[in-house]
Structure 1
Amino acid sequence: MNTSFAGQRRSVRSVAAGLGLAAGLAVSACGVSGAASDASGTATSGVAKAAKAHLEKLSQPVSGAPDLGDPVDTSKVAGKTVFYVPIALKAGHFPFVQKNLQEALAKVGADLHTCDGQGNPSGFGACLDQAVQQRPAAVITDYIPYELASTAFEKLRSAGVPVFIAGAKQPQGVATSKAFAFGDPENYGFNAVEGEADAVIADSDGKAHVLFLQLNASTAIEAQGQHTIDYFKRACPHCVLTVKGVNLGIMSNIPSLVSSALVRDPGIGYVVPQTDTYLAAAVSGVQAAGKTRSIKISSSGDVLASVQQVKSNPQLLAMAGTNPPYLAWTMADSVFRMVAGQAPPETYPVLNRVFTKQNVNSLDLTTAAEAGGQWFGSTGYKQAFANLWSAK
């Protein structure tokens, strides 16, 4: 095993703590510092007004159903099984994807078999090898980098089993086809991190000094983190951005990393964890630094515990969610098209939503609403997909 693969393996194992993959360290800064103000009040700068307007747009609930494409023949998947292999089933939103995949597949008379990737390459390989032996109608993987299970993925390709690699970018040099495709999460992820940044820009009147905690292992997660940095630079030229890489495999180190950064630079007024995977650790670091009253936080996530904190924690400005139930239905649509001999769409409409102090009280903060996707607004996309599939 070479050194680079060993590093990837360690960082993938850490994803059992949440959606992201993380490793490495990165530090950068840009802009100049300034005082903060309340985004719920009047934004005085043009930068803050633009951020507030964008945030308000992203905070609106989905209304109706988007245009989801052309009808597809699902007869070839009826009565068959689709494999679902999440990177780590207990992490983040994957249980809700699983539940909604089962609901979507049932619409066309198909069954779901879930195999937990367990957050490590051996788990990925075991699940995909199981699929090679059982020859399901299709396989969906979720946030598993191709590079960490390339041999197993290629076995499936050779066996003629359609494979949809969701939550992952296509690596350079890896061929795709109508039966072997990637579901790049870039549109969803970029939309979410812009929302978490807008909350900070608006609240600070365009003068935030931010500690950004970045994830650096998966190519998709790296792209989202870099987009956050670029967005802050572009949308808030008078913000200061200090970037710290984190290793979720050693979660206990994150509070000390945050507290030491805040003590070292007392001008920092905001902490932005790229995802809510390590929100609790970041909050602990803020508390250890004695900055609970002065630091504000913004992040991305879509699980009940995180969204509840938008309501209960005065520090937390916003939580940008990516609608796991909807993502599940797009995955089902993709594999139905692949089984029918069609290439899946490169992307689907983004139905994200940012949860803020202004809209969180309107949400039904229950596990049922979390699993059903009602926080994001209309679930009319379910019937819209069913209509495309000639399903009930």
Structure 2
Amino acid sequence: MDPNRKTARAAAALLAVAATALAGCGSGTSDTGGPSPAGAGCPAVLQAARAAVERAERAVTPWNGPTTGPAAIPGKSLVYVAQTMTNPGVAGVANAVREAARTIGWTVRVIDGQGTPAGIQAALSQAVTLKPSGIVIGGFDPRLTSQQVARAGAEGIPLVGWHALSAPGPSTSPRLFTNVTTRVEEVAKAAADWVIAGSGGHAGVVVFTDDSIPFAETKSRLIEERLAACPGVRLLAQANIPIPDASRRTPQEVSSLLSRFPKEWTYSVAINDLYFDDAAPAFRAAGKPGAGPPLNIGAGDGDPSAFRRVNSERFQAATVPEPLAQQGWQIVDEFNRAFAGRPASGYVAPVHISTAANSAGASSWDPQGYREAYEKIWQG
């Protein structure tokens, strides 16, 4: 199996298991109402969506993150506890943390939680036992490891999360110095605006989600709310497929949807890019062109497999990626602020939409200027 196909499935396994206790694990596809009024339009929403998409698709944007902060505190060590290193998002950030740590003069050790609750708890326990200067919570909810988090706090070890919580910034419960992530509401809006703008305000849309994961359920709800702002955009159905079951269930679900909406289905939005990897065989079997329709956008991490589909126009037209390398460097900078007794930077990366037209064949979204900015800060 392509390691990139194991990615979010393995990464989401922990979340899906844990979230079952928090939210009902629904499944299947739900219709979401009748057709929109004929000729309904949304000129103001359409204009705003086009402007937002134009901004988000800019391939080169100036660095808008921190340019001041404490000089490098020498001799520090970090442990990166990964939810699973088979997730390219988690692994990409880990590699960037290593790169940034070499630049600032620190050491990093990565411990793989193997994608299971027991494995992650054991990994975080091992990390605390090592007594590093700081620990990265790499892609899992620290509330699932509350005992280990409490031990780290008792040892005075600061924690910085990556996608550890749904919101960026510091957290008091669970206690994180800061959480590095884009804003879910901005990612959801960008994906929905891409549909509104690209369709001229007239589309039939299917949304793929996993309601067993609260973060994913929130993202899909925000996507649907934004789409509803344009009466000419009809939400045909919500395909609620748990991510661990995506490879098994998505092809059958897509085939059923194509039978029900053979012409009406023109766009798709998924809370994670992997759905389109699993949907491709069904689209291909139905004779659908790789370049669409339906035109598909992932509101997910933007892993390398998603970029391959986008760049080759194989059943995915766009993705709203995370700047994984930049976020790894930010994690190191946030720790340096913690060690210096300074507050978190408060920086949140702006959303970006990657397409074949603006990615230039890249396998990730890597904005410019952050390495130079952080190096200048650390040099003092």
Tell me the TM-score normalized by structure 2: 0.82
Conserved 8 A contact 1:168-1:219: no
| Equivalent residue pairs, number | 356
Distance change in 2, residues 1:304/1:126 (3 Å): same
Conserved 8 A contact 1:254-1:282: yes
**Take 1:20 and 1:209, find their aligned partners in 2: how far apart are those partners?**
33
Query: Is 1:259 equivalent to 2:255 in the alignment?
Result: yes
**Take 2:267 and 2:166, find their aligned partners in 1: how far apart are those partners?**
34
**Take 2:37 and 2:278, find their aligned partners in 1: how far apart are those partners?**
26
Correspondence 1:60-79 to 2 at 5 A: 60-68=58-66, 70-75=68-73, 78-79=74-75
- Per the alignment, in what secondary structure is the counterpart of residue 200 of structure 1? helix
**Take 1:58 and 1:31, find their aligned partners in 2: how far apart are those partners?**
32
Shift of 1:61: 2.4
Distance change in 2, residues 1:19/1:182 (3 Å): farther
**Take 1:130 and 1:268, find their aligned partners in 2: how far apart are those partners?**
49
1:203 pairs with one of 186, 198, 206: 198
**Amino acid of the structure 2 residue aligned with 1:16:** A
**Take 1:109 and 1:349, find their aligned partners in 2: how far apart are those partners?**
25
Gaps of 5+ in 1: 1-12, 37-42
Q: Deviations over 1:100-149 (max 9, x none)?
A: 11111122210111111211111111111111211000001122112221
**Take 1:308 and 1:322, find their aligned partners in 2: how far apart are those partners?**
16
Shift of 1:312: 1.7
**Take 1:20 and 1:224, find their aligned partners in 2: how far apart are those partners?**
18
- Per the alignment, in what secondary structure is the counterpart of residue 213 of structure 1? strand
Distance change in 2, residues 1:169/1:178 (3 Å): closer
Give the aligned partner of residue 150 of structure 1. Answer: 146
- Per the alignment, in what secondary structure is the counterpart of residue 317 of structure 2? strand
Give the aligned partner of residue 165 of structure 1. Answer: 161
Conserved 8 A contact 1:263-1:289: no
Shift of 1:279: 1.8
Give the aligned partner of residue 32 of structure 1. Answer: 35
Distance change in 2, residues 1:21/1:289 (3 Å): farther
2:100 pairs with one of 100, 104, 111: 104
RMSD: 3.2
1:116 pairs with one of 109, 112, 115: 112
Give the aligned partner of residue 193 of structure 1. Answer: 188
**Take 1:208 and 1:55, find their aligned partners in 2: how far apart are those partners?**
17
Conserved 8 A contact 1:178-1:344: no
- Per the alignment, in what secondary structure is the counterpart of residue 52 of structure 1? helix
**Amino acid of the structure 1 residue aligned with 2:54:** E
Shift of 1:221: 3.3
Distance change in 2, residues 1:200/1:67 (3 Å): closer
Gaps of 5+ in 2: 1-6
Query: Is 1:335 equivalent to 2:350 in the alignment?
Result: no
Give the aligned partner of residue 274 of structure 1. Answer: 271
**Take 1:390 and 1:89, find their aligned partners in 2: how far apart are those partners?**
31
Give the aligned partner of residue 3 of structure 2. Answer: none
Shift of 1:178: 12
Correspondence 1:84-95 to 2 at 5 A: 84-95=80-91
Shift of 1:84: 0.7
% identity of equivalent residues = 24
**Take 2:51 and 2:89, find their aligned partners in 1: how far apart are those partners?**
28
Query: Is 1:59 equivalent to 2:57 in the alignment?
Result: yes
- Per the alignment, in what secondary structure is the counterpart of residue 181 of structure 1? strand
Give the aligned partner of residue 136 of structure 2. Answer: 140
Tell me the TM-score normalized by structure 1: 0.80
